[in-house]
Structure formats: structure tokens, C-alpha cells
Amino acid sequence: MDFWNYIKARKEKNIGTAPLREHEHLITGSKGKAEIVVNQSQSVFTKDDINQPTPQLTKRVNDNILLLHISAACVLKLLDNIKSVK
């Protein structure tokens, strides 16, 4: 038995998704919770109006990096500071 199977076997119960509140009601059923999530997603994401022209960017940055120094010591320092537990 691997570690995660052991952990799953030791859990007392699987709660699933917590109840969600819609207006003044607490929704506990799977279908109701799914509808709340779908409605929330639809309110955040919008469809583009294909009849409207794409906005043009009026300000562009044309500055170039003139000189960039990268040394082995700088790269090594950055690599040493990487947090591998993330």
C-alpha cells in the first residue's frame, strides 16, 4: 500500500464540496452546487462581439535592452535559491 492509499484508508469520511450559499439559501445538493458554479463562471467570462472591431493598442514600447550581463555566478545564485518544495 502506497502512502496516499494509506491516507485515504485512514480518512473517516469523504465530505466532498462544501455547501454553497445562493442568495439566502444554503445549497447542499450536487446539481444545485454545479449550477451555482456554472452561473458564476458565466458571469465572469464573456463572449466577444464579432460585430465589434478589435481594439487597437495605441501605446507601444519600442525600447530595446541595450546591454544585458548574465554571468555564471548570477545564474548559480538564482538556481541555489529555488524553493524545490513548491
Question: What is the full per-residue pLDDT of the chain (86 aa) written as tens digits?
Answer: 688 888 877 776 666 788 999 999 999 999 999 999 998 888 888 777 889 888 888 887 878 878 888 999 999 999 999 988 76
**Cell 444554503 -> residue:** 26
CB 9 within 8 A of CB 2: no
Half-sphere exposure of 8 (CA within 13 A, CB side): 5
